[in-house]
Amino acid sequence: MTHPLIRFDQVRKTYGTGEGMVHALAGVDLAIRTGEFVAVLGPSGSGKSTCMNIMGALDTPTAGRYFFNGVDVGTLTRDQRAIFRRDNIGFVFQGFNLLKRTTAVENLELPLIYRGIPHAERRRMAVETLARVGLADRGHHTASELSGGQQQRVAIARALVTNPNVIFADEPTGNLDSHRTHEIMAFFIELNRKNGLTIVMVTHEEEVAAYAGRQIRFRDGHIESDVINAKRAGVPA
């Protein structure tokens, strides 16, 4: 039996000391398989964002172990974690995090520069990835010239351009209206089902979580529930 892509083994995360100590995660066990589309929910302070930060190697557990594709991420140095993120993970954020005065193509080229990919090759990769998200005709527009939905598609394309093993999306529709939200979530479903891409999405919105094939709900640093969404649960073989 193959190991899961993501596995938490009694992961704990605390902040502060003494009476001010906060137990953000209180001994969490969790496994996510390749090809799943998972929504992580919970109220503010429940632990969902801490969980995402540890999965994305942006933070480390206080105790317990985090395995990604069989690798114990907690044993990596800071520099090794940076390389791990570069080579394995794509991030999508609520605020898009695009350079506003930079073109869509140039925004996509940035992570490829860090990989040392030559200019002509990274331009080709950026143009092709923009086409995947339906923005082939917007490559030379700056981010500030694009609508909110288009900016989020550029942000998704930037996450995709490095061909990651997983995309972590943090409130990816928080700044979008209902129509654009559906558009972005339908695209996530397409990426998951047609390309087998693993997606882990933090959201506080029930209607957004309903697009995912699995819903993991946090409360007070624990997993309160872990439910398969039968309508969305199909994942690639």
Q: Give per-residue pLDDT as tens, 70-80.
A: 999 999 999 99
Report the pLDDT averaged over residues 87-110.
91
pLDDT at 236 over 50: no
For the chain, the residue count is 237
pLDDT score at 174: 84
pLDDT score at 2: 64
pLDDT digits (tens, 9 = 90+) for 5-60: 999 999 999 998 888 888 999 999 999 999 999 999 999 899 999 999 999 999 99
Report which of 9, 28, 36 is spatially closest to residue 214, judged by C-alpha positions. 36
Q: With contact defined as beta carbons under 8 Å apart, do 33 and 230 qualify?
A: no
pLDDT score at 233: 58
pLDDT digits (tens, 9 = 90+) for 198-223: 999 999 899 999 999 999 999 999 99
Question: Is CATH 3.30.420.40 correct for 6-96+164-228?
Answer: no
pLDDT digits (tens, 9 = 90+) for 139-167: 999 999 999 889 989 999 999 999 999 99
Nearest 5°: the CA angle 41, 74, 201 is: 20
Question: Whole-angstrom Cα distance, residue 183 to residue 155?
Answer: 14
Report which of 42, 91, 97 is spatially closest to residue 219, judged by C-alpha positions. 42
pLDDT at 237 over 80: no
pLDDT score at 88: 94
What are the residue boundaries of the structural domains of the chain, listed by start?
Answer: 6-96+164-228
Pairing of strands 63-68, 6-15: antiparallel
pLDDT score at 19: 80
